[in-house]
A and B are shown apart, each in its own frame.
Chain A
Amino acid sequence: DTAVSQTPKYLVTQMGNDKSIKCEQNLGHDTMYWYKQDSKKFLKIMFSYNNKELIINETVPNRFSPKSPDKAHLNLHINSLELGDSAVYFCASSQDGGSGELFFGEGSRLTVL
């Protein structure tokens, strides 16, 4: 039973489209995150949520809108996709925000053509 699951795993789309990535965790954690990994494997935090409340928004363009309907889910919606949005997006969760012990999903590879 997957602890942190993301869908879809692969996403290929055209510039200007809108797309969503879903994430669910069954660990009972309070905190969830979205990270972006670029082609050089560099990982950068985008958002973190604690009990459905936005805690960190790391200067991400407002085309990216996270939504947390409950503390087990954190979805990422991206409007007007650009070439530079191509990356692997990782969802993660942790029991609390300060421990640094994150559980990651397998990633969603987004390719914008």
Chain B
Amino acid sequence: GNSVTQMEGPVTLSEEAFLTINCTYTATGYPSLFWYVQYPGEGLQLLLKATKADDKGSNKGFEATYRKETTSFHLEKGSVQVSDSAVYFCALSPMDSSYKLIFGSGTRLLVRP
């Protein structure tokens, strides 16, 4: 079946540190891949996406590359800020099943000043 696995959090970093949050997936064919972010007390917001192998999604300094060979979509940012503290969700949209976004368990990021 389709599934998404994320690294367990929380991830605690100092401001300006480099961020990596690992995400791997299981799916048939070529799903679309997403990162969503949830700030405290809010709903999820789309951060970035990639729809085919080797695509790189980017937004607000965050990047993730769709790696078919390793079935991964790791999220990276070169220099995090306190305002990046949030929960980050990796997700996939299966090729064979529209109308359903499958989420990973989320990774909480805490950035300290």
Contact = CB atoms under 8 A, between A and B. Distances in A.
B82 to A, nearest CB: 20
Interface stretch (B11-19, B21-29, B69-77, B86-94): B86-94
Contacts of B43: 4, 90, 92, 104-107
Contacts, number: 65
B87 A41 contact: yes
Given A4-B43, A90-B43, A106-B41, A98 B93 contact: yes
> Which interface class (under 10, 10 to 19, 20 to 34, 35 or more) fits B?
20 to 34
Contacts of B44: 43, 90, 92, 102, 104
Nearest to B42: A106
A11 to B, nearest CB: 16
Nearest to B45: A104
Looking at chain B's contact residues, is the secondary structure mostly helix, strand, loop, or mixed?
strand
B45 A48 contact: no
Nearest to A44: B103
Given A56-B99, A98-B98, A100-B91, 13 more contacts: A41-B87, A44-B103, A45-B100, A45-B102, A48-B100, A55-B98, A58-B100, A90-B43, A92-B43, A100-B32, A100-B92, A102-B101, A106-B41
Interface of B: 32, 34, 36, 38, 41-46, 49, 87, 89, 91-93, 98-103, 105-106, 108
Interface of A: 4, 31, 33, 40-45, 48, 50, 55-56, 58, 90, 92, 96-107
